[in-house]
């Protein structure tokens, strides 16, 4: 079911509704299941200032594109946390970093800031 949501075959809302339906027998009621999914769906996270500073520096040299396999909530989430203008483009529902590489892009499965710094270091040493 997650695959259907991240590929756009079903909406994010439908995916969460189906999760609530699946949880209802375990939770004891459909209402309680919807409440749990609603609480789980609250946008969380934080913007890492080190990452944003690094991306801003990289954008002075090359375009930075965010590739994600998030649901359709990605664009609204980026806006809510103030990152709408932080990328030159956002491509959603790209399956994997491998797909990006096969398309001729540099793909990085981001895990920590040090890894990202190492990956972009050659870009920052340019002219």
Residue 120 has pLDDT above 80, yes or no: yes
> What is the rounded (10 degree) CA torsion for 9, 83, 99, 72?
0
What pLDDT digit, counting tens, does each position of 8-24 carry?
788 888 988 999 999 99
Residue 41, classified by CB atoms within 10 Å of its CB into exposed (0-12), middle (13-18) or buried (19+), is middle
More confident residue, 11 or 52: 52
What pLDDT digit, counting tens, does each position of 90-115 carry?
887 676 677 778 888 877 877 888 88
Q: Report how far residue 42's alpha carbon sits from residue 117's, in angstroms, rounded to the nearest whole number.
A: 30
Band of residue 30 on the pLDDT scale cut at 50, 70, 90: very high
Q: Token pair of 83, please?
A: 């990152």
Residue 57 has pLDDT above 60, yes or no: yes
């Amino acid at each position: 079911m997650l695959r259907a949501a991240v590929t756009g075959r079903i909406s994010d809302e439908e995916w969460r509704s189906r999760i609530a339906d699946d949880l209802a027998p375990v939770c004891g009621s459909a209402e309680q299941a919807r409440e749990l999914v609603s609480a789980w769906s609250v946008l969380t996270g934080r913007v890492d200032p080190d990452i944003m500073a690094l991306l801003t520096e990289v954008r002075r040299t090359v375009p930075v594109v965010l590739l994600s396999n998030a649901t359709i909530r990605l664009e609204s989430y980026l806006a809510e946390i103030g990152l709408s203008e932080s990328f030159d483009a956002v491509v959603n529902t790209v399956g994997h970093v491998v797909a990006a590489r096969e398309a001729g892009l540099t793909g990085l499965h981001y895990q920590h800031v040090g890894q990202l710094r190492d990956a972009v270091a050659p870009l920052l040493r340019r002219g």
